[in-house]
Copies of this chain bind each other. A is one copy, B any other.
Amino acid sequence: MQPRRTNPERAEATRAALLEAARALFVEKGYAKTSTPEIVEAAKVTRGALYHHFADKPDLFRAVLEREAQAVADEIEAAASPGPAPRAAVIAGSLAYLDAMSVPGRTRLLLVDGPAVLGPSEIASIDEAHAARSLREGLEAALGPKPRAFSIPAMTALLSAAFDRAALAIEAGSDPAAFRSAMISLVERVVPPA
């Protein structure tokens, strides 16, 4: 607890406190019903600090989301290393995605409030930079270059949406096994065995 702290240290500490407090409140009450006075109180800073680090409330939300999307992408990468069996890698990545999205709050942040606050196009670009990219590359590796009845980017988007809905349903209390198996069944029909 030295009162002697370097400037980047102070800044990073308050930034982290704001991100953590904001994440917790956005998850608990949703973006719209969370006020900046609440956030700064939980983070034990003032609104001046918030508006010093972030342009506005959506900008803070965006920062929370990018962290979260990065964490999800990391978990997928760890599980679905693109080895010699691309089909197995896609299925492993699929289950890893559902596991990653079961971390409390992630569905609300990334799938519910995110599109409304930042717009579906910005969410799509965050997604394409993280989780969806893994899926697309997995499909390309598993399907090869021969002609197909569908475009890979389009099918990636459709499957990605199905993944999201599965995560939401599981979060809402549906049977996880039922949605996991339905999702795998869907992927297997798109990527035929060998």
Report which A residues bind B (CB closer than 8 A): 30-32, 111-113, 115-117, 119-121, 124, 149-151, 153-155, 157-162, 164-166, 168-169, 172, 174-175, 178-179, 181-183, 185-186, 189-190
Contact = CB atoms under 8 A, between A and B. Distances in A.
A154 to B, nearest CB: 4
Contact of A116 (B116, B169, B185): B116
A179 B157 CA distance: 9
A178 to B, nearest CB: 5
A21 to B, nearest CB: 21
A157 to B, nearest CB: 6
A160 B154 contact: no
A158 B183 contact: yes
A112 B122 CA distance: 12
Nearest to A180: B154
B32 A172 contact: no
B113 A181 contact: no
Which one of A112, A155, A158, A162 has the highest number of Cβ atoms from chain B below 10 Å of its Cβ?
Answer: A158
21 contacts: A31-B116, A111-B115, A113-B116, A115-B115, A121-B172, A124-B172, A149-B185, A150-B178, A150-B182, A151-B178, A153-B178, A154-B174, A154-B179, A155-B182, A155-B185, A157-B165, A158-B165, A158-B182, A158-B186, A160-B165, A186-B189
